[in-house]
Amino acid sequence: MNGLNSIKQDLLSVSNKDKAKLLSRFFKTGPGQYGEGDVFAGIVVPDIRKVVKKHRDMKFSDIVKLLHSREHEFRLTALLLLVYKYSKGSDEEKKKIYDIYLANTKWINNWDLVDLSAPHIIGGYLVSNNKEKKILERLARSSSLWERRIAVLATFAFIRSGDYKEVFKIAEMLLNDEHDLIHKAVGWMLRECGKRCGRDVEILFLEKHYREMPRTMLRYSIEHFSLKEKAKYMLRDKRSEFA
């Protein structure tokens, strides 16, 4: 049995039909929903990580084939394999993984797939290769919801290194985005900026933009503020209800 068939068999051996139904609802796979048409095998992340550990020497060509799978959890397995290989790879291998990722964003098409991979691969690469960070702006302008979310989550790597400029730039580009999943992601990254770069840094962004920030984005960004601090930003105009 070759590597690709072997890993698929290992994944299917820990799948569960009832869990698949729950995951399908949780990840909004119904008509018109953001995950429309996605197919779940019913495999929980801890079991996926065990399979990744067993197959971490898998060839890149097989990982790409796995990433092109119909099953959501197969794609997540492929991405976690790439994250692992990126963490252990040479500069040349990291560049290869970064290129593979960008060439296959079509298959990175739900929020968990993005969130568990983009900070490590796209963000990690750009922190080390600063001259290429313009790619974040291209992704942020994409018509693809998931490419825009990749741009946002990639800034997490910059935030962890103490650099808030990239998240501010991408957040400003996405202030008028129409999708709730982008509002949540931007708010989350701004909150992390306050946590890791300093509350005063986050407040710089809020003071400039809080009046135009979508409500969900603002609420996520100030989640760890005191009630008094939250009220300062939330109790205004048509946003007078605070619950």
Task: Please provide the DSSP assignment of 102-153 as one string.
Answer: HHTGGG--SHHHHHTTHIIIIIHHHHHSGGGTTHHHHHHT-S-HHHHHHHHH
Q: Is 189 exposed, middle or buried (0-12, 13-18, 19+ CB in 10 A)?
A: buried
* pLDDT for position 236: 59
* pLDDT for position 235: 76
Out of 42, 61, 96, a domain closes at 96
- Tell me, yes or no, whether 44 and 82 share the same domain: yes
Domain that holds residue 144: 117-238
Out of 32, 61, 96, a domain closes at 96
Polymer length in residues for the chain: 243
In a domain, 111, yes or no: no
Instruction: Return the structure tokens found at 85.
Output: 């290989």
DSSP state of 43: -
Return the number of other C-beta atoms located less than 10 Å from residue 196's C-beta.
16
- Tell me, yes or no, whether 125 and 234 share the same domain: yes
What's the rounded Cα separation, in Å, for the pair 155 and 170? 8
Do the Cβ atoms of 19 and 50 come closer than 8 Å?
no
In a domain, 196, yes or no: yes
Question: What's the CATH code of the domain at 203?
Answer: 1.25.10.90
pLDDT digits (tens, 9 = 90+) for 139-177: 999 999 999 999 999 999 999 999 999 999 999 999 999
In a domain, 131, yes or no: yes
- Tell me, yes or no, whether 62 and 163 share the same domain: no
- Tell me, yes or no, whether 129 and 207 share the same domain: yes
- Tell me, yes or no, whether 189 and 232 share the same domain: yes
Residue 1 has pLDDT above 50, yes or no: no
Q: For the chain, how many structural domains are there in total?
A: 2
pLDDT digits (tens, 9 = 90+) for 96-115: 999 999 999 999 999 999 99
Residues 6+ apart with CB under 8 A from 226: none
In a domain, 183, yes or no: yes
Which of the two residues, 234 and 222, has the higher pLDDT score?
222
Do the Cβ atoms of 152 and 170 come closer than 8 Å?
yes
pLDDT digits (tens, 9 = 90+) for 57-100: 999 999 999 999 999 999 999 999 999 999 999 999 999 999 99
- Tell me, yes or no, whether 80 and 153 share the same domain: no
What's the rounded Cα separation, in Å, for the pair 65 and 242? 48
Residues 6+ apart with CB under 8 A from 107: 67, 68, 75
- Tell me, yes or no, whether 92 and 124 share the same domain: no
- Tell me, yes or no, whether 40 and 149 share the same domain: no
